[in-house]
A and B are shown apart, each in its own frame.
Chain A
């Protein structure tokens, strides 16, 4: 993806070139290159949207800043590569802009370096004037119910990592041979998982889904996907675009129970437009007779998905031999209060659903990175004020680790710009002391070498990128991702 350049990225590059910042040896650039050498050393931890958007804003706004981006994996872009669904390539266009940022003279990428183990926070703080934590949410919320560890129960994070080629999940090989799947949670990730499981293989095979996952989905026996929420239809966490995609999925029929929607019409009057439109679409599917093409498609469908409401998981049930998942028991709930803040309370009733696969999609979770960084365990975020880490001058955060694991890329972009503005403000007001020169990555290269860690540069990533694209070309896919870290490292060093 980063191997192509669009007119938008050209625009971006042009704008930065005028300030004499681009790394290319393009004539325009040299002409304008009489700039002061960077004096503020900034380190960014994590190369997802938060890392790149924070870097972009800093580099654009202040000519004296040098940004080093450290990434634990050999490859950049975080959830844009390992989260965003393979059948949503247009979302990944942001990579074009990130790539231009990475190409700037004052920006350097260090892949394959895990902050907290390969380099400590203390070492980073010594080397940089400011450290910005953008390391996302690498964990999953757990259900906390018996049976969660049974074979056939996966977190959405691992499941998504598997079909998107995250090295840690390459051997997940989920068993897709049962006919029913339960997905817990009704957010966009839950819909991504459902859609990948139910999409026609002819569509998926033109995406960058890993070949192993594609083969599994092609052999899948799944006929029914039940997406379960602990609250009601007015509290679903997904957004309308993703819901509409599910409704329009070829070969698949939506099954919504009209009884779940009775009485909801009255509530629609007072709610904001996004929730209103989303609920109207749900009600249309649940209550209206399908027309024309939908009617034909649904009549011919061999698979179905459904939304089940007011069910909170209490136990995952094993097969007779105790080895695998056979079903799940739910507590039936009712709502206390209304609207977005309504609470699910137990009614005392229970219900069981049989299934051979459970994907728990109840949210990602950020983890503490290092003892020296404050962390709020209950909220799962680094405590901060607009991105300034509380009581830790010189330390900042952006993205999911700042806000919690919700929000689309545009949300992450806005909050990254906010953090970048705080850094700029602090440089300006001298809250951030930049009077002493700091060595930046020069202080760390030796340490890394001593510890046997070889960083992957951005051009190293571009070699990986090029090979992935070539491998994809051979089989009619936009790319075939490398799944093995050692193979990535070898290629990057070649």
Chain B
């Protein structure tokens, strides 16, 4: 596969919000993932457990997915790196242009999050099922206090009839 870069600015947006966690250069990670995938994985393996937190996702079908993520990573990074099966999540790849990374937080965690920028709120306003504790996953970077938090993926569709039980036809990829 040949490769091309978007202008760097577009790939830098993830997590520039967080002062404590260093901004993540998506472009660098892209390189790691593309060319040196195994090296990247083994680096991850070497991280100490205190650099990680547990995150629980409640998927659209109500299934709970428990995984861990590195402190400083965004929730979009976690979904990507752990290959979580959340359909359509992160369509704009973390560039604040789609709102498909919308997640709903518990009240106590929500209160402790860095406040959202106007740009995040603008995009969030387009999200399905917006709640008072909604945020965009590509803008939330993991911190220690988030350990074992639970975030909910909102129903993607407005009509509950549409949440049909597809367990028989899905292969569960």
Contact = CB atoms under 8 A, between A and B. Distances in A.
Interface of A: 3-8, 10-11, 14-16, 18-19, 53, 57, 60-63, 88-91, 93-94, 96-97, 206, 239-241, 244, 273-274, 277-278, 386, 408-410, 413-415, 417-418, 421-422, 424-425, 427-428, 466, 469, 478
A274 B170 CA distance: 35
A90 B53 CA distance: 30
Interface string B76-104: 00001101010110111101111110000
A8 B56 CA distance: 20
Given A7-B33, A57-B87, A409-B98, A427 B130 contact: no
A148 B46 CA distance: 68
Given A3-B4, A241-B119, A93 B164 contact: no
B48 interface: no
Contacts, number: 144
A96 B3 CA distance: 11
Contacts of A7: 29-30, 33-34, 80
A425 B169 contact: yes
B92 A425 contact: no
A417 B93 contact: no
Q: What are the 10 tightest A-B residue pairs by CB atom distance, in nearest-first order?
A: A90-B95, A274-B125, A7-B33, A4-B4, A241-B122, A90-B97, A424-B169, A93-B93, A61-B170, A414-B156
Nearest to A414: B156
Interface in B3-36: 3-7, 10, 29-30, 33-34
Contacts of B87: 57, 60, 417
B123 interface: yes
Contacts of B111: none
Nearest to B82: A11
B3 A93 contact: no
Given A7-B29, A413-B91, A418-B162, A408 B126 contact: yes
A18 B99 contact: no
Contacts of A15: 83, 85, 173
B58 interface: no
B101 to A, nearest CB: 10
B118 interface: yes
Contacts of A53: 88
A53 B98 CA distance: 14
B121 interface: yes
A10 to B, nearest CB: 6
Given A4-B4, A240-B122, A408-B126, A18 B93 contact: no
B39 interface: no
Given A6-B30, A7-B29, A418-B162, A91 B88 contact: no
Contacts of B126: 239, 241, 274, 408, 410
Most buried by A among B5, B85, B98: B98
B157 interface: yes
A417 B60 CA distance: 12
A62 B5 contact: no
Contact of B83 (A3, A14, A88): A14
B49 interface: no
B interface, how many residues as a size bin? 35 or more
B130 A274 contact: yes
Majority SS at the chain A contact face: helix
10 contacts: A4-B5, A10-B34, A62-B170, A90-B97, A94-B92, A241-B126, A244-B118, A408-B126, A410-B126, A414-B128
B4 A63 contact: no
A239 B157 CA distance: 20
A324 B80 CA distance: 54
A428 B3 contact: no
Contacts of A57: 87
B1 interface: yes
A425 B170 CA distance: 10
Contacts of A6: 30, 93
A88 B10 CA distance: 10
A414 B126 CA distance: 13
A61 B166 CA distance: 9
B7 to A, nearest CB: 8
A427 B169 contact: yes
Given A3-B4, A4-B2, 12 more contacts: A19-B173, A90-B6, A91-B97, A93-B91, A94-B92, A240-B125, A244-B118, A244-B122, A408-B126, A415-B157, A417-B156, A469-B4
Given A5-B34, A15-B83, A244-B118, A424 B88 contact: no
B123 to A, nearest CB: 6
Interface centre among B93, B121, B123, B127 (most CB of A within 10 A): B93
A57 B127 CA distance: 20
Contact of A96 (B80, B81, B93, B161): B93
Contacts of B3: 3-5
A417 B119 contact: no
B159 interface: yes
B112 interface: no
Contact of A93 (B4, B5, B92, B128): B92
A427 B166 CA distance: 11
Nearest to A58: B169
A414 to B, nearest CB: 5
B44 to A, nearest CB: 13
A62 B171 contact: yes
Interface string B147-165: 0000000001101011010
B112 to A, nearest CB: 21
B168 A428 contact: yes
A421 B169 CA distance: 9
B30 A428 contact: no
